[in-house]
Amino acid sequence: MKDAVRIHKTMTRRDWGLLLFLSVLWGGSFFFNEVALAELPPLTLVLLRVALAAAILRAVMRLKGIAMPRDPAIWRAFLAMGLLNNAIPFSLIVWGQSHVASGVAAIMNASTPLFTVLLAHRLTRDERLTAGRLVGVGLGLAGVAVMMGGAVAGGTGAALAGQVACLAAAFSYALAGVYGRRFGALGLPPLAVATGQVTASSLILLPLALLVDRPWTLAAPGAATLLALAGVAALSTALAYVLFFRLLAAAGATNLLLVTLLIPVTAILLGVAVLGETLLPRHLAGMALIGLGLAAIDGRPPAAAIRLARRGSRDSLRAPPHRVEREETL
């Protein structure tokens, strides 16, 4: 997976804004999944999610006059990306959510940047492991754990299996983030890459869902499930993956997958703003740790602080001797 694509090591304000918006879109997927799982089995839910997203994105491409690539090599890359970024992690997370709460699944998902930092260091030339990145990911994970309190307590049996499934999904997301860098060198628009990915993942999941879930035997879903499907397909998949590939091309895998640290933050803030939930002190402490972690990974705030400290020390050394003596006598 070594490649020669150069990635920005720090993100612009626009990149950070898109990352925050992406965290809201993906944070909502845990809620939508939880609603839809009441009536749909995991593989059927995931298939409907990606198939509906593919239909939406293909319609948008037609409106914009963008043609899908026909190169077999590009479609092989779409299949690999669909497997790593959709079919495997979506299925694991949805199955995991049938055994653990959505908040626990979000915590497990927040381990994605740690896996990404390690994989990007091993498999790329320009996203090397630094002390700042490692410390930043550690602070971010600590912040997520503090925010969620005792939501994760190990568990046994099905609960433990659900947590392991969500961790495996995070590892798959990390692999996808590193693998997906190659699309930047192909010159494809983010809309085409997102459409190709979800189309490929639909082809992968279709025979599995038919074989395992036998969806034709299921009862017709209710209004709440249909609305949840619409939300997870249109917002958390179609729109989210257009932003995903745009950010991946500009900011790199390590920076992009910081979004998983922000997902629990946006979930809590949305709960406070929309559902009237209470913002607890541990939530504020966790958000502060995540903020410090993001600053350490971004690199610019710590560097600015170091420059200010050095400038202050140089100014003190340049102070006139009589001024120092006068201060001592005072």
Higher pLDDT, 231 or 112: 231
Residues 248-254, mean pLDDT to the nearest whole number: 75
Residue 170 has pLDDT above 60, yes or no: yes
Q: Are 50 and 86 contacting, i.e. CB atoms less than 8 angstroms apart?
A: yes
Percentage of the chain beyond pLDDT 70 is 78
Residues 57-76, mean pLDDT to the nearest whole number: 92
Higher pLDDT, 287 or 71: 71
10: its two tokens? 């720090």
Question: Which regions of the chain does DSSP assign to beta strands (E)?
Answer: none
Q: Are 258 and 10 contacting, i.e. CB atoms less than 8 angstroms apart?
A: no
Q: Cα separation of 165 and 153, whole Å?
A: 16
pLDDT value for 315: 62
Residues 171-184, mean pLDDT to the nearest whole number: 86
Residue 184 has pLDDT above 70, yes or no: yes
pLDDT value for 148: 66
Residue 196 has pLDDT above 80, yes or no: yes
- 12-62 per-position pLDDT tens digit: 888 888 888 988 898 888 788 888 988 999 999 999 999 999 999 999 999
Neighbouring C-beta atoms of residue 1, cutoff 10 Å: 12
Residues 186-198, mean pLDDT to the nearest whole number: 89
Residues 6-11, mean pLDDT to the nearest whole number: 54
> What's the pLDDT band for 187 if we cut at 50, 70, 90?
confident
Q: Cα separation of 236 and 299, whole Å?
A: 29
User: If we measure between CA atoms, which residue out of 43, 2, 245 comes closest to residue 125?
Assistant: 2
User: If we measure between CA atoms, which residue out of 47, 49, 51, 45 comes closest to residue 94?
Assistant: 45
Percentage of the chain beyond pLDDT 90 is 29
For residue 82, CA distances in Å to 88, 198, 235, 262, 290 come to 8, 6, 18, 23, 29
- 97-148 per-position pLDDT tens digit: 888 776 677 777 777 877 887 888 777 776 676 777 778 878 877 877 787 6
Q: Are 268 and 283 contacting, i.e. CB atoms less than 8 angstroms apart?
A: yes
The alpha carbon of residue 165 and the mean position of all alpha carbons in its chain are separated, in whole angstroms, by 16
Q: Cα separation of 257 and 59, whole Å?
A: 28
DSSP 8-class letter at 66: P
pLDDT value for 56: 96
Q: Are 82 and 198 contacting, i.e. CB atoms less than 8 angstroms apart?
A: yes
Place of tokens 């607890």: 280
Q: Cα separation of 281 and 170, whole Å?
A: 28
